[in-house]
Amino acid sequence: MEEIAVKNLDHLGIVAGLIDEIGIVEIINQKLGIDSREKIPTGQVIKALILNGLGMVSRPLYLFSQFFEDKPIEKL
């Protein structure tokens, strides 16, 4: 039997869609360039920061990864 995992998208899906439609990630990566040492491009980091900021959470940035644990990041 296949196990189903449910993740909550909330309003972040709309925000992520708008970010993609406007092309913010690509603009940031184009302006700043991509360093070969980066594991995650700067544009993606900024997108994640925007989503975290609009997530209406009052967690410090060192808990940033915990914010995305129950989010379907492949959809965002």
Q: Does 52 or 59 have the greater pLDDT score? A: 52
Tell me the chain's radius of gyration from C-alpha atoms.
14
Give the start-to-end residue ranges of the domains of the chain.
12-67
Percent of the chain past pLDDT 70, that is, above it, reads 72
Choose among 73, 17, 16, 21: nearest CA to 50.
16
Using the 8-state DSSP alphabet, how is residue 71 labeled? S
Q: Is residue 70 within 8 Å of residue 8, measured between CB atoms?
A: yes
Q: Grade residue 6 by pLDDT with cuts at 50, 70 and 90.
A: low
Asked if pLDDT for residue 2 goes beyond 90, the answer is no
CA 8 to chain CA centroid, Å, is 14
User: Tens digit of pLDDT for each residue in 14-52?
Assistant: 888 899 999 999 999 999 988 889 888 999 889 888 887
